[in-house]
Amino acid sequence: MSKLKRALITGISGQDGSYLSELLLGKGYEVHGIVRRVAMEDPQHRLSRIHHLKDRLQLHAASLESYPSLMKVVAAVCPDEVYHLAAQSYVSYSFEDEFSTFEVNVNGTHYLLSACRDVVPSARFYFAGSSEMFGSAPAPQNESTAFRPRSAYGISKVAGYHLTRNYREAYGLHASCGMLYNHESPRRGMEFVTRKISSLAAQIKLGLASEIRLGNPEARRDWGHAREYVEGMWRMLQQEQPDDYVIATGETHSVREFLECTFDFLGLDPYKYLVLDNRFVRPAEVDVLLGDMSKAREHLGWTPKISFRELAREMVFSDLDLYSRVAVNEGKSAAAFSLAPMITHIPPAAENEGTPAAD
Ligand code: GDD
């Protein structure tokens, strides 16, 4: 009987880590994850996205800022596949603290690659690159497009990409980089614009909020569903040769369109509540991201199926469900908000597992 494949995931408690864990467990992998020590101490809050999987995952405390701690976990787990998803992933924050963004995103990636080279050189390695690496490059972008990052976050991901490529070329590591465009879900953190919109739409509908403050509503992104994107990561590591791939839908939509679409699902006019707020405008914006994922389609057989509208719909009805429970707990009845017809549109439980995290 062939032995179980063993995967090690950094960032396992995040949106992508939770979907990837489900995918790998479903394929029979033994799944290990690296989390920060503070998360182990506060699992209720910090591990909420993987709470439903807790008995099937093996978690290890380590920090991306400590090479010895990473080395120890890699040596203990001896993984066949390593998925490096952990990062300071909020672009806006990278303008406030460029230094810690580089520390975590660049050094953390370097430490992990180095530990893999020294301990498990035959392990397959996935680096979570980003469409932010393309920055202001003209759309559509593909694997040959020159990088023009517009933030410390984007620059840190370009550095991680080059580290990954260099470990592949210099040391023969099976190391691949996924250049994933924005990918969302009900498990998305509240700081990202789609979740901010879906959660506030739900709260406004329920009378729990009265406005939505946004920065630049004209920015355009290529938004897909995270559950489908983690399948692209896995497929990259099943290829005989390591390589780099764009994962995207090939459609671009503005923040304004996401806002209109989401509010429309709840029968709300967003312009009654929208306040433009300069505090959410970035010092340097990426105006348009649009990915050309032909290579992933041809080599990996990967194509996205969930549309922009389906994504918005799943997110807003999931938040409506979440905040209805909040409202009920505050002594308000869900019926008071005429929710019954809408709740029937909530996607089935299997697609909607997990509690959205508060951060
Ligand atoms: N977060 C946020 N909040 N963004 C806003 C707001 C607001 O109030 N108003 C407008 N935006 C605009 C941002 O300026 C940006 O153009 C767009 O909405 C999307 O912002 P985010 O949702 O924060 O995502 P992001 O595109 O910066 O980065 C995400 O996608 C990358 C892949 O392209 C993150 O997930 C990154 O980690 C990821 O690499």
pLDDT at 44 (0 to 100): 80
Q: What is the CA radius of gyration of the chain?
A: 20
Nearest CA to 50 out of 89, 10, 87, 14 is that of: 14
Cα(287)–Cα(132) distance, integer angstroms: 11
Residue segments in the chain with a per-residue pLDDT below the cut of 50: 333-359
Query: What's the gap in Å between 176 CA and the centre of ligand 1?
Result: 24
Model pLDDT, residue 332 = 56
Which of 91, 131, 179, 191 has most ligand 1 atoms within 8 Å of CB, for mutation? 91
Distance 30 CA to ligand 1 centre (A): 33
Q: And the tokens for 141? A: 């972008």
pLDDT in tens, 289-325: 999 999 999 999 999 999 999 999 999 999 999 999 9
Residue-wise pLDDT tens digits, 326-339:
888 765 544 444 33
State how far the Cα of 206 lies from the Cα of 315, in Å rounded to an integer: 16
Q: Which residues, at least 6 apart from 65, have a Cβ–Cβ distance to it below 8 Å?
A: 103, 104, 107, 108
C-alpha 263 to ligand 1 mean position (Å): 19
- CA atoms of 112 and 123, how far apart (whole Å): 12
Per-residue model confidence as pLDDT tens digits over 26-80: 999 999 999 998 888 888 888 999 999 999 999 999 999 999 999 999 999 999 9
Task: Quote the pTM value.
Answer: 0.92
Torsion of CA 299, 300, 306, 312, to 10 degrees: -90
| CA of 195, closest atom in ligand 1 | 22
255 lines ligand 1 (CB under 6 A): yes
What is the rounded CA–CA span in Å between residue 346 and residue 342? 7
DSSP state letters, 230-287: HHHHHHHHTSSS--EEEE--S--EEHHHHHHHHHHHTT--GGGTEEE-GGGS-SS---
Two structure tokens written together for 4: 């179980």
Report the SS3 class of residue 88. coil
Q: Is 216 in the pocket of ligand 1 (CB under 6 A)?
A: yes
> Is the preceding omega at residue 140 within 30 degrees of 0, hence cis?
yes
The CA-CA-CA angle for residues 185, 188, 194, to 5°, reads 75
The answer to whether the beta carbons of residues 18 and 49 sit under 8 Å apart is: yes
Q: Ligand 1: does its nearest atom lie under 6 Å from the Cβ of 88?
A: no
State the pLDDT at residue 297.
98
Instruction: State the closest ligand 1 atom to the C-alpha of 213, by its place in the atom list counted from 1.
Output: 8
Contacts of 223 (CB under 8 A, 6+ apart): 181, 182, 183, 184, 194, 249, 253, 258, 308, 311
Ligand 1 atom with the smallest distance to the CA of 151 is 27
Q: In which residue are the tokens 């509503």 written?
A: 217
Q: Is residue 198 in contact with ligand 1, taking CB distance under 6 Å?
A: no
Closest of 87, 82, 23 to residue 230, by C-alpha:
23
State percent of the chain over pLDDT 70. 91
